[in-house]
Structure 1
């Protein structure tokens, strides 16, 4: 088993059911493994976990952060196969209750990207990177040359 991988990302949220509904509207599938304290959502090759913000801070033995939204020095990203797909998912995120931070546009590094914040201020980048190859499941494969 490889150590360099991410299998689950946990986000601390203010309202578990609101956040679960937001991510379900974006296509994540709720898994029955959760309970009243945690929701697990299946994505392509990764699980997104939603946990109460105060409870997550307590579990990590840290104080809960200040007011939201704020930049936390972390973004999550979904790489997509083109500009139209990036625009489509961005619109879907905003319709589901996300906040537009930076509308998708051509960017200095030669791709196309935008940012939205989920209902708890977690920052997501949606990007089309013409320099990255994607496999048949829509996952990045940095071992392959991109197809123009």
Structure 2
């Protein structure tokens, strides 16, 4: 297996609301519109998909019961190129309907980060790492 992730799919309770949050609020590029069955957002080498939670659980198998609240053990990270940008992105997420769950602050590993949750409770970390190297598209290099 090659080491890459092509698509991350989030099961959402209200697809139209989630499209508005990511496309209109956060500014993620998408051709998604009202009435679509799924939405895709291009993210510089990978894609974020939004799909109805009940249909995603059904696709996996009849025994799957979708989790509708609480921390499920996964976070999505958005790394930024400056310490100040962390607060800017968190503020944008909050204005778009997200909930700040951890304010921007210096963290134990030497960076600066905070967390927000989207309308379905998925946790996003917004982080700045002082030694991170970004390519010309803004992708972090490891």
Contact 1:102–1:116 (CA<8 Å) still a contact in 2?
yes
| TM-score normalised over the length of structure 2 | 0.91
Contact 1:41–1:49 (CA<8 Å) still a contact in 2?
yes
Change (3 A) 1:32 1:65: closer
Structure 1 residues 1-148: aligned runs within 5 Å: 3-24=2-23, 25-31=25-31, 36-61=36-61, 62-68=63-69, 70-142=70-142
Shift of 1:14: 0.3
Give SS of 2:8's match.
strand
Contact 1:76–1:125 (CA<8 Å) still a contact in 2?
yes
Q: Deviations over 1:48-87 (max 9, x none)?
A: 100000100111114233441x110100001100111111
Q: What is the alpha-carbon root mean square deviation over aligned residues?
A: 1.9
Q: In structure 2, how many angstroms separate the alpha carbons of the residues matched to 1:34 and 1:18?
A: 9
Q: Extract unaligned runs of 5+ from structure 1.
A: 143-148
Shift of 1:23: 0.3
Q: In structure 1, how many angstroms separate the alpha carbons of the residues matched to 2:102 and 2:5?
A: 26
| TM-score normalised over the length of structure 1 | 0.88
Q: Extract unaligned runs of 5+ from structure 2.
A: none
Q: In structure 1, how many angstroms separate the alpha carbons of the residues matched to 2:67 and 2:60?
A: 16
Alignment length, in residue pairs?
Answer: 140
Segments of 4+ in structure 1 off by > 4 A? 32-35
Shift of 1:32: 5.2
Q: In structure 2, how many angstroms separate the alpha carbons of the residues matched to 1:124 and 1:139?
A: 16
Contact 1:97–1:119 (CA<8 Å) still a contact in 2?
yes
